Chains A and B, each alone.
Chain A
Amino acid sequence: NAGVTQTPKFRILKIGQSMTLQCTQDMNHNYMYWYRQDPGMGLKLIYYSVGAGITDKGEVPNGYNVSRSTTEDFPLRLELAAPSQTSVYFCASGKGTPQHFGDGTRLSIL
């Protein structure tokens, strides 16, 4: 009963590097979301998907890309990492609203 699994849990990147944050869910949810949470702040929606092959921008999509080729997976791609992307990233899934969140990926850009 894994729920939402995010990998890696921690990562340090250098400015300009790229990486993919992985997110997998095993609950057959159509809806999946990526949020970022900065210290002491709420969650900001980066991208979301309402089903395989369908993605849409959230509040803060610049600098990120997503894809949704399967129901289970919703990877988040960072191109040309910048210090402003230092944050905790949460993936979530649900049946129309975020119901289950992963434990997050803590990303530092130095």
Chain B
Amino acid sequence: QQQVKQSPQSLIVQKGGISIINCAYENTAFDYFPWYQQFPGKGPALLIAIRPDVSEKKEGRFTISFNKSAKQFSLHIMDSQPGDSATYFCAAKTSYDKVIFGPGTSLSVIP
């Protein structure tokens, strides 16, 4: 099943708080898991990515946690800022190089 599930659909976080977005997959052939950030009227931008042999990857305030046995991964945004308000997509790449996106999470960070 080449599908990536994502939750929540929308998220409101106070400035300085932690934003957490969760994703799950079923296809064990997925071998790369990128996250994208999209601002209104713009194309998505690659934010951070992880391979399934790594349990955690951190870049600045953004951290991916990966649970291979549960087939779940999540994005944590520490010290969330109003400028982080955007739509976030998790994605997964198959061994045939298809990159499938989750449905997205709309994040609003309020002052």
Q: Which one of B2, B32, B45 contacts A97 once the chains associate, using CB atoms below 8 Å?
A: B32
Q: How many residues of B contact A (CB 8 A)?
A: 24
A43 contacts which chain B residues (CB < 8 A)? 44, 89, 101
Which residue of the partner chain B has the closest CB to A59?
Answer: B100
Task: Describe A's contact surface by its main secondary structure.
Answer: strand
Q: Are A42 and B101 within 8 A (Cβ)? A: yes
Q: How many residues of A contact B (CB 8 A)?
A: 26
Seen from chain A, the residues whose Cβ lies within 8 Å of a Cβ on chain B are 4, 31, 33, 35, 41-45, 48, 50, 56, 58-59, 90, 92, 94, 96-104
Seen from chain B, the residues whose Cβ lies within 8 Å of a Cβ on chain A are 2, 6, 32, 34, 36, 41-46, 49, 89, 91, 93, 96-104
In addition to A42-B102, A59-B2, 13 A-B residue pairs with Cβ atoms within 8 Å of each other are A4-B43, A42-B89, A45-B99, A48-B97, A59-B98, A92-B43, A96-B93, A97-B34, A97-B91, A98-B91, A99-B46, A103-B43, A104-B42
